[in-house]
């Protein structure tokens, strides 16, 4: 981490600049530096074991007409793989009790099951598609999935102010071919390594979406979570806000809470 | 005033030219501000109710444009590894098309099916080159049996496929956005066509249509304008036998065009298909002024008058008539402002401006140039009016048969006016030489076309679309619509729900039906929403709070009237079967279906006002109320008869033709002005009887009339060659109308005058005549030697 604490005013872009700015560094490339920042970002958000929260998903079209969905989410941290998560729908009323279980993976298709209470059956959904929209929102599955360092390759761009803070700006290139993105640009603050903003570029490298993280709170003295996540699609004018409430950590959830049977009980 | 101007022009020709050129160049620089709006929506004013309905619908559902690659293998087999690989390649490459948000084809179609308790969602064709025969025919069976694919992305016989690229134009720079898309998709097409020479790949879709509006017009202007210049140069040099005169005329025409386009650029006009024809029309109309000035001048010179004096005489003779004819022409074009379609306001205003500029240049720069240039004329007495004399003799001798015979013919043809049926098919706005037209016709013949009607049904409550009763209505309507003979394809949310119901019951065909409770429907849709691929959401079929749904109906090729009839039938269905829900219909097809009719209604007002104004001008010019009224007949008849001929032959009229009546009014009136003023001049100043006056009119203006008519007919026939049908039909119809106007003025008006004038008045005319110079009223083109 010593490298990252060097004065960065000179380190604007690229290899040559970082060489100048860090004379003791063993020629750290922009790629290595980007990765090391994101490793620290991941490291600081490790060890929370399990997590639960309620969420309001507010969908807006270009005319600002809204639709609100209420959802509860539970997540179980996994080592060396994507996390497991369970999503339970409370609103609108006609989908109440519908539950979605997902085991996200770094290098292959996620495992997904859906429980439809009106049908009384659990269905496994087999799909290669991670780039599709999550519940009709402007978030895609890949946006909602947990961050895993090997999902991307990186390039450090520079530092710049973000709000009252200073942020590392790092480009992320998805490894997965089925990704909907050519690249993402992440702004991670230098104080606490919290994601402050993400820009998403589509496959033709046009700016597609921007995600802003608003109002971070710290939980159990360690983990930071934003109260609101605001995703704006620049191409179709639509936006989605995720408003989180009631974060709870380390309440002893285990694998049994994340299997097919748990889906039916989820309501 | 005019004398002082003429003196200045003739004494200081160089200064006149320099001032003129400086002004022209300053104005012309504005032409660089002229941009071409490549969007079919320009045809509709902001108040247009069908446009408003469509825009309102686009605000609720996803708004999008598209490009369609139409892929036709020579062996008529889409489902071969190589052809599917080509389709996969186009699909993948199309994600790189600027502003693309979604690409759909048979290869990346998200095929969902059940396997025990698994729902499998995958690309219908994943790696084409690895597929065996069995897998290929399985994929083919699924594609052609799926209502979401059949006739949209694959033909029923699987011999033609479509890759559809959905575009979301930011609309910030319409001049560059559409061409950027066109050039990228063409590049993809070239690349794939090179690797797969046995594929015929064509491009259709809204973006290609929009780009064709620009390209067809640019193509037109690069072929039609030079062609028209050629016609003008040939006509003038052959008829008037002067090189310098031709040169000066060409300069005046060019000046009129560039100044008009320049001023249009400065004042914020933009170009569209119709208004881009302004240069051709101005070109045609600007010639007349110069011809009149040249003929008078040469007449004088042949009779021994010196050049300088001949120019001055010609200006004196012609100033008033060419001002009058220019003004009436301008009024006719200005009446286009009543049109319902903004591009025609622009066309009218630009041509009106061009015509008035041509008048100004003809009496300033033109004489200045003639003064400076060497002009030689052979001194000879000509027998050229022989033809006109024999024509007048014929008309006078046969007046008793001509009048009733002509009346019968004209009325008989006019009876066929109502046989014209409204038809605005935006695909057929382009002739068959345009690639977009070929591609779209081909797509229409083999899959389905661009004729669509979008139906939005509102349940009135949030999540109301999941209500079984509502879904049943949507299903009933979709089924009814599919049973209509004109329907090609219906895209309905109920197909998706039925498919999911079957999927969730182990693909049992018995479950291909709507669920019977709201929760199940809602949960299926949630499942569906969660399985959608990148770039797709339900918003193109459902509104945000799921209270309304949109059904897209693709129709076979129909005339506008048939479309309007279909629209009525659809509305009647909802009134009868689902009065509890609000159903709205909108689409570009409906916009175009209504525009012709709306435009005709609005243009009737415009034409009526133009007619009143022009008749007033004529009344003043002829200084007679009675002749003002008589002139109505030869002015109104040509357009009526022309529409009769059209009804008898073509029978379909659209946007382009609905403005012809008003625009030709201003042009045909010129013939009447010239003929009547000569006639009256003979009656009043010379005390001639009606026969002598008719003879005088024929011999003095007959030849000039037919030369100008010839130029006008040629000009508009050149426009009739346009690849852009609105302009082509407008040109053809105008040419017909102008030709008929000449026939009416030669064969019908004189017998009419001889009849009416003989019976009702004394030869000297009722109005008091200021003694005016012999050449005062009308232009004196071929003054009789008497």
Q: What is the pLDDT of residues A112-130, one digit of tens each?
A: 888 988 888 888 888 777 7
B100: tokens are 């693309």
CB atoms closer than 10 angstroms to residue B700: 27
Reference B596, options B604, B608, B607; nearest CA is B604
Calpha distance A254→A258 (Å, rounded): 7
Cβ–Cβ < 8 Å for A214, A226: yes
Q: What is the pLDDT of residue B642?
A: 92
| Residues β-bridged to residue A58 | A68, A241
Q: Compute the average pLDDT of residues B745-769.
A: 66
Q: Compute the average pLDDT of residues B704-720.
A: 86
Question: Per the CB < 8 Å rule, is A129 touching B168?
Answer: no
Q: Which of A85, A113, A127, A261 to mutate to test the interface with B (most CBs of B within 10 A)?
A: A127
Chain B nearest C-alpha distance from A264 (Å) = 14
Domain A3-46+146-247, CATH:
2.50.20.10
| Residues β-bridged to residue A170 | A156, A186
- The SS3 call for residue A236 is coil
Residue A171 binned pLDDT confidence (cut-offs 50, 70, 90): very high
Q: Compute the average pLDDT of residues B314-323.
A: 84
Cβ–Cβ < 8 Å for B524, B132: no
pLDDT in tens, B479-491: 999 999 998 889 8
Strand ranges for A31-120 from DSSP E: 50-60, 66-76, 84-91, 99-103, 111-116
Q: Which of B111, B125, B519 to mutate to test the interface with A (most CBs of A within 10 A)?
A: B519
**Residue spans of alpha helices (H) in A24-177:** 30-44, 141-144
Q: Compute the average pLDDT of residues B400-417.
A: 90
Q: Is the pLDDT of residue A212 over 80?
A: yes
- Mean pLDDT rounded to a whole number for chain B: 85
**Residue spans of alpha helices (H) in B69-173:** 81-94, 133-145
B575: tokens are 């009134």
Q: How far is CA B333 from CA B231, B338, B637, B660, B712, in A?
A: 23, 10, 18, 10, 15
Cis upstream peptide for A92 (omega within 30°): yes
Q: How far is CA B99 from CA A130, A209, B395, in A?
A: 22, 14, 67
Question: Per the CB < 8 Å rule, is A95 touching B526?
Answer: yes
Q: Compute the average pLDDT of residues B590-612.
A: 85
Closest partner residue to A131 (CB to CB) among B462, B523, B533 is B533
Closest residue of B to A134, CA-based? Answer: B530
Q: What is the pLDDT of residue B530?
A: 81
Q: Which string of b and e fits B622-632 if b means at least 16 CB within 10 Å?
A: bbbebbbebbb
Q: What is the pLDDT of residue B777?
A: 37
Q: Is the pLDDT of residue B393 over 70?
A: yes
Chain A residues 24-63 with a CB less than 8 Å from chain B = 59-63
Q: How far is CA B564 from the centre of its chain?
A: 20
Q: What is the pLDDT of residue B385?
A: 57
B650: tokens are 């073509």
Report chain B residues whose CB lies below 8 A from the CB of A95.
519, 522-523, 526
Reference B65, options B450, B418, B442; nearest CA is B450
Calpha distance B662→B639 (Å, rounded): 9
Q: What is the DSSP string of A142-174?
A: HHHSPP-GGGEEEEEEEEEEETTEEEEEEEEEE
- The SS3 call for residue B550 is strand
Q: How far is CA B221 from the centre of its chain?
A: 15
Q: Compute the average pLDDT of residues A174-203.
A: 91
Calpha distance B714→B231 (Å, rounded): 7
Whether A119 contacts chain B with CB within 8 A: yes
Reference B57, options B594, B474, B453; nearest CA is B453
- The SS3 call for residue B337 is helix
Dihedral (Cα; B749, B754, B757, B760), 10-degree rounding: -130
Q: How far is CA B656 from the centre of its chain?
A: 4
Model ipTM value:
0.83
B142: tokens are 């699924």
Calpha distance B357→B94 (Å, rounded): 49
Q: What is the pLDDT of residue B457?
A: 93
Q: Is the pLDDT of residue B117 over 80?
A: no
Domains of chain B, by residue range, sit at 64-212, 439-592
Question: Per the CB < 8 Å rule, is A94 touching B466?
Answer: yes
Q: Is the pLDDT of residue A12 over 50?
A: no
First-to-last alpha carbon distance for chain B, in angstroms, is 32
CB atoms closer than 10 angstroms to residue B373: 15
Q: Compute the average pLDDT of residues A25-53.
A: 86
pLDDT in tens, B605-616: 888 888 888 888
Report chain B residues whose CB lies below 8 A from the CB of A126.
118-122
B114: tokens are 């059940």
């Amino acid at each position: 981490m010593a490298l990252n604490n060097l004065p960065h005013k000179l380190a604007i872009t690229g290899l040559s600049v970082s060489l100048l700015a860090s004379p003791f560094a063993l020629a750290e490339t922009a790629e290595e530096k980007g990765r090391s920042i994101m490793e620290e970002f991941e490291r600081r958000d490790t060890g929370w074991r399990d997590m639960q929260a309620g969420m309001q998903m507010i969908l807006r079209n270009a005319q600002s007409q809204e639709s609100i969905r209420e959802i509860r989410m539970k997540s179980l941290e996994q080592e060396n793989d994507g996390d497991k998560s369970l999503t339970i729908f409370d609103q609108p009323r006609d989908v109440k009790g519908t539950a979605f279980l997902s085991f996200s993976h770094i290098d292959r298709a996620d495992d997904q099951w859906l429980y439809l209470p009106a049908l009384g059956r659990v269905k496994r959904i087999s799909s290669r598609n991670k780039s599709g929209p999550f519940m009709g929102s402007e978030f895609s599955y890949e946006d909602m999935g947990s961050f895993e360092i090997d999902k991307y390759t990186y390039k450090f761009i520079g530092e710049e102010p973000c709000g009252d803070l200073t942020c590392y700006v790092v480009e992320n290139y998805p490894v997965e071919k089925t990704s909907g993105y050519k690249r993402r640009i992440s702004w991670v603050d230098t104080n606490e390594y919290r994601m402050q903003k993400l820009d998403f570029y589509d496959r033709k490298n046009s700016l597609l979406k921007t995600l802003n993280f608003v109002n971070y709170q710290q939980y159990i003295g360690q983990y930071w979570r934003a109260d609101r996540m605001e995703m704006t699609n620049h191409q179709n004018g639509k936006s989605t806000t995720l408003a989180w409430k009631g974060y709870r950590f380390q309440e002893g959830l285990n694998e049994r809470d994340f299997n097919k049977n748990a889906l039916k009980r989820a309501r | 005033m005019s004398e002082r101007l003429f003196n200045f022009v003739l004494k200081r020709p160089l200064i006149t030219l320099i001032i003129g050129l400086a002004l022209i160049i300053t104005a012309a620089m504005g032409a660089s501000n002229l941009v071409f709006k490549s969007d079919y929506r320009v045809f509709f004013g902001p108040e247009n109710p069908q446009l408003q309905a469509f825009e309102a619908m686009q605000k609720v559902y996803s708004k999008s444009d598209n490009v369609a690659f139409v892929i036709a293998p020579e062996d008529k087999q889409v489902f071969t590894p190589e052809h599917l690989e080509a389709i996969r390649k186009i699909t993948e490459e199309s994600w790189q098309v600027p502003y693309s948000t979604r690409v759909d084809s048979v290869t990346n179609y998200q095929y969902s099916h059940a396997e025990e308790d698994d729902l499998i969602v995958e690309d219908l064709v994943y790696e084409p080159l690895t597929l065996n025969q069995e897998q290929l025919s399985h994929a083919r069976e699924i594609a052609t049996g799926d209502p979401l694919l059949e006739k949209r992305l694959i033909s029923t016989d699987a011999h033609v496929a479509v890759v559809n690229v959905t575009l979301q134009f930011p609309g910030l720079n319409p001049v560059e956005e559409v061409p950027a898309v066109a050039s990228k998709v063409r590049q993809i097409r070239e690349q794939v066509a090179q690797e797969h020479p046995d594929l015929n790949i064509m491009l259709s879709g809204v973006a290609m249509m929009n780009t064709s509006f620009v390209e067809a017009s640019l193509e037109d202007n690069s072929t039609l304008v030079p062609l028209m210049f050629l016609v003008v140069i040939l006509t003038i040099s052959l008829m008037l036998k002067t090189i310098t005169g031709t040169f000066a005329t060409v300069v005046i025409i060019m000046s009129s065009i560039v100044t008009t386009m320049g001023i249009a650029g400065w004042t914020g006009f933009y170009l569209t298909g119709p208004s881009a024809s302004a240069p051709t029309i101005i070109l045609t109309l600007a010639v007349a002024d110069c011809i009149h000035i040249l003929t008078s001048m040469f007449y004088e010179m042949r009779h021994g008058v010196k050049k300088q004096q001949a120019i001055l005489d010609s200006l004196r003779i012609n100033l008033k008539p060419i001002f009058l004819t220019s003004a009436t022409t301008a009024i006719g074009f200005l009446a286009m402002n009543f049109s319902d379609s903004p591009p025609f306001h622009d066309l009218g205003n630009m041509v009106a401006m061009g015509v008035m500029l041509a008048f100004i240049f003809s009496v300033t720069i033109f004489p200045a140039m003639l003064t400076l240039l060497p002009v030689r004329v052979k001194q000879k007495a000509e027998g050229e009016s022989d033809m006109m004399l024999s024509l007048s003799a014929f008309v006078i001798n046969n007046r008793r048969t001509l009048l009733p015979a002509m009346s019968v013919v004209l009325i008989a043809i006019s009876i066929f006016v109502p046989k014209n049926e409204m038809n605005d098919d935006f695909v057929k706005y382009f002739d068959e030489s345009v690639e977009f037209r070929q591609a779209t016709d081909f797509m229409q013949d083999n899959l389905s076309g661009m004729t669509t009607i979008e139906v939005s049904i509102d349940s009135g409550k949030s999540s109301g679309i999941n209500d079984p009763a509502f879904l049943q209505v949507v299903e009933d309507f979709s089924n009814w619509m599919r049973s209509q003979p004109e329907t090609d394809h219906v895209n309905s949310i109920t197909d998706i729900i039925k498919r999911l119901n079957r999927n969730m019951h182990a693909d049992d065909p018995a479950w291909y039906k709507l669920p019977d409770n709201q929760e199940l429907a809602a949960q299926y849709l949630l499942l569906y929403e969660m399985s959608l691929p990148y770039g797709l959401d339900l918003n193109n079929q459902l509104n945000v709070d799921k209270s309304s749904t949109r059904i897209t109906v693709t129709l076979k090729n129909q005339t506008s009237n048939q479309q309007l009839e279909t629209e009525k039938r659809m509305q009647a269905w909802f009134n009868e079967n689902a009065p509890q829900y609000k159903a709205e219909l909108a689409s570009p097809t409906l916009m175009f279906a209504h525009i012709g009719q709306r435009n005709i209604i609005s243009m009737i007002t415009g034409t009526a006002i133009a007619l009143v104004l022009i008749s007033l001008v004529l009344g003043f010019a002829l200084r007679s109320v009675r002749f003002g009224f008589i002139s109505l007949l030869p002015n109104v008849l040509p357009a009526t008869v022309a529409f009769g001929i059209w009804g008898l032959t073509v029978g379909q009229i659209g946007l382009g033709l609905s403005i012809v009546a008003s625009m030709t009014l201003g042009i045909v009136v010129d013939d009447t002005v010239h003929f009547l003023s000569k006639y009256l001049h003979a009656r009043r100043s010379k005390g001639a009887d009606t026969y002598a006056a008719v003879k005088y009119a024929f011999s003095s203006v007959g030849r000039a009339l037919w030369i100008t008519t010839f130029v006008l007919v040629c000009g508009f026939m050149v426009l009739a060659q346009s690849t852009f049908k609105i302009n082509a039909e407008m040109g053809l119809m105008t040419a017909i109308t102008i030709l008929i106007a000449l026939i009416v003025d030669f064969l019908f008006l004189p017998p009419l005058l001889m009849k009416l004038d003989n019976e009702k008045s004394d030869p000297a005319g009722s109005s008091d005549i200021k003694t005016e110079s012999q050449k005062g009223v009308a232009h004196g083109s071929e003054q009789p030697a008497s």
